[in-house]
């Protein structure tokens, strides 16, 4: 897979979420082409570069759970109310996130990616916020299918 950094359209979609949604962080994760692991490829509003080194197993962490379930997920007060260990959520720890909303990205009708927005304070994302994220995810699916995953 080509590096996401080479695709300005992907960065533009992610960066635009920072302005249209009340969030401090936006990230994109994709499942590896070979094997079940999931890696964070792009982030905006990040505190550091740790996201680049985070790889989670299918079904683990936010990215792995979203891809395995194919469903959106919201956390509003991390680490309260999570199932499993705090260390199972490395993106939350690395970026000091307290609230997140994440949706799957589908390629050929199979969930293979995750678009996540986050805040470093307690927040419940509105229906409008969630619609913006869903629309951005659809835009990313189209861009990635056309430019990266061909």
3-state DSSP assignment of residue 26: strand
CATH of the domain at 141: 3.30.450.40
Q: How many domains does the chain have?
A: 1
3-state DSSP assignment of residue 45: coil
**pLDDT score for 15:** 92
Q: Which two tokens stand for residue 149?
A: 């995953």
Task: Give the predicted TM-score (pTM) of the model.
Answer: 0.93
pLDDT in tens, the chain (150 residues): 445 556 889 999 999 999 999 999 999 999 988 888 999 999 999 999 999 999 888 888 899 999 999 999 999 999 998 878 899 899 999 999 999 999 999 998 999 999 999 999 999 999 999 999 999 999 999 999 887 555
Task: Look up the domain containing 69 and give its range.
Answer: 4-148
**pLDDT score for 58:** 82
């Amino acid at each position: 897979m080509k590096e996401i950094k080479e695709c300005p359209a992907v960065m533009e979609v992610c960066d635009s979420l920072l302005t249209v949604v009340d969030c401090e962080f936006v990230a994109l994760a994709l499942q590896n082409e070979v094997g079940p692991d999931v890696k964070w490829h792009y982030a905006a509003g990040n505190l550091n570069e740790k996201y680049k080194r985070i790889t989670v197993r299918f079904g683990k962490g936010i990215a792995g759970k979203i891809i395995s379930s194919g469903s959106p997920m919201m956390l509003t007060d991390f680490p309260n109310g999570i199932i499993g260990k705090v260390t199972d959520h490395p993106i939350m720890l690395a970026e000091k996130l307290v609230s997140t909303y994440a949706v799957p990205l589908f390629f050929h009708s199979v969930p293979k990616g995750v678009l996540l927005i986050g805040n470093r304070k307690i927040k419940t994302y509105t229906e409008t916020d969630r619609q913006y994220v869903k629309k951005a995810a659809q835009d990313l699916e189209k861009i990635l299918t056309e430019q990266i995953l061909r």
